[in-house]
Amino acid sequence: MFIDKKVTKKIAFLARIGLSEKEEEEFSKDLSNILKWMEDLKKIDVKDVEPLRNVNDIELLEREDIEFSKNIKQEKLLHNAPKKNGNFFTVPKVIE
């Protein structure tokens, strides 16, 4: 076994969980099995395997940038302003 009860107790303490004696035994076996599985994975030859970038075959589509040329006259923008000063909006002072 990779992980004994002492290590399981330490992990349980760090995780702030309380374990009974039976649970300590079960967790020790489970954690050991996980580490054994990880050791088995290390033995697999993956030299010729391409890294997986996406689990789907779907590609993201990009749209072409289109120039935006809609211009609005300044007078039309300021037409509905509650207060204005020349060609600018007038707002209350927010910083002293």
How far is 85 from 95, CA to CA, in rounded Å?
19
Distances (CA, A) of 9 to 16, 32, 33, 47, 68: 10, 14, 17, 38, 64
For residue 73, pLDDT beyond 70:
yes
Distances (CA, A) of 41 to 4, 48, 51: 22, 15, 15
What pLDDT is recorded for position 9? 93
- Each residue's pLDDT tens digit, 12-71: 999 999 999 999 999 999 999 999 999 999 999 989 988 887 788 777 788 888 887 778
Q: What pTM was computed for the model?
A: 0.49
For residue 93, pLDDT beyond 80:
yes
What pLDDT is recorded for position 52? 83
